[in-house]
Amino acid sequence: MAQEIELKLAFPARSRKQLLNHPLIRGAERLGAAQTLINTYFDTPDLVLGRARVALRTRKAGRLCLQTVKCAAASQGGLSSRPEWEQPFSGEFDFSAVADAPRALLEAHRAAIVPLFSTDFRRETFVLAPAAGVRVLAMIDLGKISAAGREEDICELELELDTGTAEDLWALAIQLAADLPLLPYDPSKAARGYRLYRDEPVRPAKAQASAVRPEMSAVGAFKQLAFQILHDWQANTFGALYLDSPDFVHQMRVALRRLRTLIRAFAKVLPPDYVAAWADELAEAANGVGTTRDLDVLLAHVLSPVMAEGGEDAVLALQERCEAARQEARLAARDLMRQRRSGEALLRFARDLYSLPESADAMSLPAFAHACLRGLRKRQLVRLAEAQAEPLAENLHQLRIGFKRLRYTLEFFAPLCAQKSLGAYLKQLASLQDDLGYLHDLDVAQAYFDAWSTRAPQLREAAGFVRGWHAPRARELKKAVLIRAAELLESRSPWRKLNKHARP
C-alpha cells in the first residue's frame, strides 16, 4: 500500500505557459514525455463505493493498464493523505492486495460493479528539488471529465511529496502561488466525476457543525475548528473567482469572519504574532469583497421586496443602477483577489495552522469555553446599554456584530454545552442578528442611494420611495429588537455549567 501526500492546485488553462515558464518548473527535471491518461471509474448503479468513499479505477497510459483503489483522503488546507493500492490490470479486478475493510466491500459488490464515468487528460511530470533532502513530483494535468453525457475541464497542478515533510510541500506551493494564479483545491477527480454523474452543481460551502470534545486541548480544538473553516474559505474562493452565484462571495465572507472570531476567541492560547498577523489579513480579505456583498444584499433584501409589492415603476431605474454597480464591483473584487494571490494566502494560513505548537493549558476546554462565552456576554451587555441609551445606527451595528461573534463562538463550543437549551438560544441569536442586520442593510443602502442621487438626481424620488416603504418595519424593529436582546442576555445560558469542568 502506498500513502500519498499531495497538494492539488487549480489554475486557469490560459496560465499553463506561465506555469511552465516559472523558474521552479522550467529548471526542473522532466520525468519522461507527456502522457495521455485515460481513466475509467467504476461503481455499482446505486453508488455503494462512492458512499463509502472508496474509488475504483482503471488507467490506460500507452500500453500500460493499471488498477487503482483509493480510500477517503484526510485533507487539511488542501494537503491530502490517502491510502492507495495500485497494480497491473489484465481485464479482471484483483482486490487481494487491498486492506481488509475496502476489500470486503469491493468483493461483496463485485458482480454489480459497472463503468460510471471517465477522465481523459494529458499529464506532464517534473521532479522538483527545492531544498536539500526534498523531492516533489509536480504533475500538470489538462483534460476532461466525462459523465452521463456531461463534461467538465481538468486543469490542475498536483504536488506529490516523494521525500521531505508536509511543511516542505507547503513551502514549495506557497512559492509557486506567490507568482501564479494557483488555488488549493480539495475535490478529487473522482469526487468531481460523481458530482457530474449526479448532475449536481458546484454549491457554496457552508459552516460545518463543530466536533470539539471536552478532553481536547484549547489549541487542538482551535486547529480542528480552523481547518473546518479553512475548507469553506478555500472552496468559496474558487467559486467567487470562477463561478457566477453571489452566494460564493457571501459564504467566503462568512468563513473569513468565522475565522476572525475563532482567532479572537482563542487568542490567549495562540502565539501573539500569529493572532496579530492573521486578524489583519483576514479582515483585509473580507473587506476586499465587501462592496460586492453590500450590493447583493441591497438588491435582494432592500429593492426586491419593494418591487414584489408593486413598486416596479418607481424602483426600476434604481434597480438598474444597482445591478450595474454590482457587476462593476464583482469584476473589481475578482481582480483584487487575483492581485492579492488568494491561493498563496490560503496556503500560508494552512501552513501556519498546521505548524501551531501545542500549549500547556491551565484549564480544561469546557472551562476555557465558559470563560470565553461569559466574557462575550458581558461585553454584549455593555453594547446593549449603549444602544438603549442612544439607539443610533452605529450602536445598533456594534450590537449586531457582538451577537454575531457570540453566535459563532457558541457554535464552536456547541458540543460542550447543554443541548436542551442550545438550539433555542442559537435560534434567538440568529433572529437578533438578522433583524439588526436588516436595519444595518437599510443604512448601507441609504449611503449608496445618496451617492447615486448626487450624480443622477432623478433617482432621488425612487430612493425616497424605497426608504418610505421600509420605514414602518424599521421603526417597529428598532423598538422590539432591544427588548428581545435584553431578554436573551438575561436568560439562562447553555454554557452556564461549563465552569464546573475543571481539569483534574
* Domains of the chain and any CATH numbers: 2-197 (2.40.320.10), 218-500 (1.40.20.10)
Return the pLDDT at 133: 94
**What's the whole-number mean pLDDT along residues 22-46?**
95
Task: Write the single-letter amino acid at 291.
Answer: T
How much is the pLDDT for 132? Answer: 93
Residue 436's pLDDT is 98
Nearest C-alpha neighbor of 483 from the set 411, 422, 435: 435
pLDDT at 79 over 80: no
CA distance 180 to 177: 5
Residues 281 and 259 sit within 8 Å (Cβ to Cβ)? no
Q: Is the pLDDT of residue 472 over 90?
A: yes
Q: Is the pLDDT confidence value at 39 over 60?
A: yes
pLDDT at site 502: 45
Tell me the per-residue pLDDT of 324-372, one tens digit each, with 9 for 90 and over.
999 999 999 999 998 888 999 999 999 999 999 887 767 899 999 999 9
Q: How does the average pLDDT of the chain come out, rounded? A: 93
Radius of gyration of the chain (CA): 26
34, three cell numbers: 507527456
pLDDT in tens, 210-258: 999 999 999 999 999 999 999 999 999 999 999 988 899 999 999 999 9
Q: What is the pLDDT of residue 74?
A: 66
At residue 383, does pLDDT exceed 80?
Answer: yes
Find all residues with CB under 8 Å of 500, minimum gap 6, and list them: none
CB atoms within 10 A of CB 503: 12
Do residues 54 and 69 lie in contact, with contact meaning Cβ atoms separated by under 8 Å? yes
131-164 pLDDT, tens digit per residue, is 999 999 999 999 999 999 999 999 999 999 999 9
The pLDDT > 90 percentage for the chain reads 87
Per residue in 246-281, pLDDT (tens digit) is 899 999 999 999 999 999 999 999 999 999 999 999
pLDDT at 500 over 70: no
Q: Which of 341, 290, 4 is nearest to 166 (CA)?
A: 4
What confidence score (pLDDT) does residue 5 get?
85
Distance CA 466, CA 450 (A): 12
CB within 8 Å of 402: residues ≥ 6 apart: 376, 379, 380, 383
